[in-house]
């Protein structure tokens, strides 16, 4: 049985789908009633409405997707973010036994300037302490709460698209490609290693907005709203001391070869 926390979200549900396609059993845990109620049904899928930190047992794989992740909201709710993203993560790891532990992280954990990034950096460190593997991703395209659905709603309502900064760039990846690459590499990884899918060059926010408008058949209409607390203009995918040890056209596996300063 595989355990996926945050399993009703965009990323977690894709992990569930692809594992089920491989014939594996999956337990999805999520504390959002609406999201888990909307999740697809499958004979080998178990849905549990619960806080992930209450889960215990033995699992073949644990894929830990659950996290508070809205940067500006977390800046103003740091205690809750620390509790959910770090303290409860440790409790999950203490409560469960697994052959393979995978922590889903973010490029915001590299040289973090946001409190969200700091909590995910600490989550990466915890995962290494428990001999787990890290998957570090950029932005998942069209995921719940992300910018593309917000822009599409603005277009439908005839409103200008909010742009934080015209110079901003972000790494973007479709959810199915990210999950497929991670699952294909997971069995090859050793404790502490980092999986980073190939995401190409970061895309400018203005270019992304133009693509969304082109797809909708409308002219680009936007307003600059400025950076929110904790946001960076550009993100990085790896630390200075993380070196590539395996690569194919879909991404690579990295290791950290020295202590961070």
CATH number (domain holding residue 80): 3.40.50.720
Stretch (H or E) spanning 134: strand 133-137
Asked whether residue 220 is assigned to any structural domain, the reply reads: no
Average pLDDT estimate for 220-227: 94
pLDDT for 248? 87
Asked whether residue 22 is assigned to any structural domain, the reply reads: yes
Q: 136 φ, ψ to 5°?
A: -110, 120
pLDDT for 183? 96
Asked whether residue 232 is assigned to any structural domain, the reply reads: no
User: Does residue 159 surpass a pLDDT of 90?
Assistant: yes
Asked whether residue 81 is assigned to any structural domain, the reply reads: yes
Asked whether residue 83 is assigned to any structural domain, the reply reads: yes
Helix (H, G, I), strand (E, B) or coil at 127: helix
Asked whether residue 216 is assigned to any structural domain, the reply reads: no
The number of domains in the chain is 1
pLDDT digits (tens, 9 = 90+) for 114-140: 999 999 999 999 999 999 999 999 999
Q: Do residues 53 and 92 make contact, with C-beta atoms less than 8 angstroms apart?
A: yes
pTM of the model: 0.93
Per cent of the chain over pLDDT 70 is 98
- Segments forming the whole domain that contains residue 37: 2-140+173-200+239-256
pLDDT tier at 214, thresholds 50, 70, 90 = very high
pLDDT tier at 260, thresholds 50, 70, 90 = very low
What sign for the dihedral angle of Cα 108, 113, 115, 118?
positive
Average pLDDT, rounded, for the chain: 94
Q: Where are the alpha helices (DSSP H) in the chain?
A: 10-21, 33-38, 71-75, 78-82, 88-95, 115-129, 147-156, 175-186, 205-216
pLDDT for 261? 38
Burial class (CB in 10 A: 0-12, 13-18, 19+), 193: buried
Per cent of the chain over pLDDT 90 is 90
pLDDT digits (tens, 9 = 90+) for 67-113: 999 999 999 999 999 999 999 999 999 999 999 999 999 999 999 99
């Amino acid at each position: 049985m595989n355990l996926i926390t945050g399993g009703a979200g965009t990323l977690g549900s894709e992990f569930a789908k692809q594992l089920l396609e491989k014939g594996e059993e999956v337990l999805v845990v999520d504390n959002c009633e609406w999201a888990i109620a909307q999740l697809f049904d499958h004979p080998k899928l178990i849905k549990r409405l619960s806080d992930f930190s209450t889960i215990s047992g033995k699992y073949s794989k644990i894929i830990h997707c659950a996290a508070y992740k809205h940067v500006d909201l977390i800046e103003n709710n740091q205690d809750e973010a620390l509790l959910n993203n770090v303290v409860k993560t440790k409790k999950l790891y203490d409560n469960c036994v697994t052959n393979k532990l995978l922590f889903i992280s973010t490029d915001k954990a590299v040289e973090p300037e946001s409190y969200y990034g700091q909590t995910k950096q600490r989550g990466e460190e915890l995962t290494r302490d428990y001999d787990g593997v890290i998957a570090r991703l950029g932005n998942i395209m069209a995921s719940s709460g992300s910018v593309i659905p917000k822009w599409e709603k603005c277009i439908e309502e005839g409103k200008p698209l909010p742009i934080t900064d015209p110079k901003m760039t972000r790494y973007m990846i479709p959810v199915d490609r990210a999950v497929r690459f991670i699952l294909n590499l997971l069995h090859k990884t050793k404790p502490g290693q980092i999986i980073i899918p190939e995401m190409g060059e970061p895309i400018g926010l203005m270019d992304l907005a133009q693509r969304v408008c082109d797809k909708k058949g409308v002219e680009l209409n936007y307003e600059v709203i400025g950076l929110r607390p904790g946001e960076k203009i550009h993100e990085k995918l790896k630390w200075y001391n993380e070196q590539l040890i395996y690569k194919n056209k879909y991404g690579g596996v990295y290791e950290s070869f020295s202590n961070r300063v």
